[in-house]
A = this chain, B = another copy of it.
């Protein structure tokens, strides 16, 4: 434990550098501990369209007891299936980088201008599209495919109420056969050195 704290000090709080420092000292057990976040949960997959689309998702909770309940398993399965169908690019609004936001805005603006609308109308079209942007690309903001009246974050909130533990989507990956790109979305947790 002391080694982890010293390593984080040496690395000025940079976790990756701290792990390198610990490994250099031969303290690989401590290095392993430093990569653990205090969380439980489950990794689940969903394979769609005869093996052409696949999703891997990690959902965290506070205890392994909750992670093993049918309620939790159902939630994780629903989220994995939703990601396969709805193709989100990020977990939360906060995960969208300013660069990605500006790139999308720029694309919508060019589309609006190309459609031949006057500048004032074009600008309104862009504003309208950007209002819907988060709902289209962020998992937590998307309407749940099995019940479009609630968002994924509301689906999770309902389970939190039922199970009495905090629950959060940690990360997901989505591959489609033949596509150049793949989606890998990760939320950065707070690091706890203990």
Contacts and interface: CB of A to CB of B under 8 A. Distances in A.
The number of times this chain is found in the oligomer is 2
B189 A107 contact: no
Contact of A43 (B15, B43, B175): B175
Interface in A21-62: 23-26, 34-47, 50-56, 58, 60
A179 B51 contact: no
Given A178-B39, A182-B171, A26 B60 contact: no
Contacts of A6: none
Contact of A173 (B39, B114, B184): B184
Contact of A181 (B35, B41, B56, B177): B35
A145 interface: no
A7 to B, nearest CB: 13
Interface residues of A, number: 54
A93 interface: no
A61 to B, nearest CB: 10
A90 to B, nearest CB: 15
A93 to B, nearest CB: 21
Contact of A186 (B51, B52, B182): B182
A179 B37 contact: yes
23 contacts: A20-B103, A20-B107, A24-B110, A24-B111, A26-B114, A35-B180, A36-B179, A37-B180, A39-B177, A40-B177, A40-B178, A42-B52, A42-B177, A43-B54, A45-B46, A45-B56, A50-B68, A51-B67, A56-B175, A60-B177, A171-B175, A173-B184, A180-B191
Interface of A: 15, 20, 23-26, 34-47, 50-56, 58, 60, 67-68, 73, 103, 106-107, 110-111, 114-115, 170-171, 173, 175-182, 184, 186, 189, 191
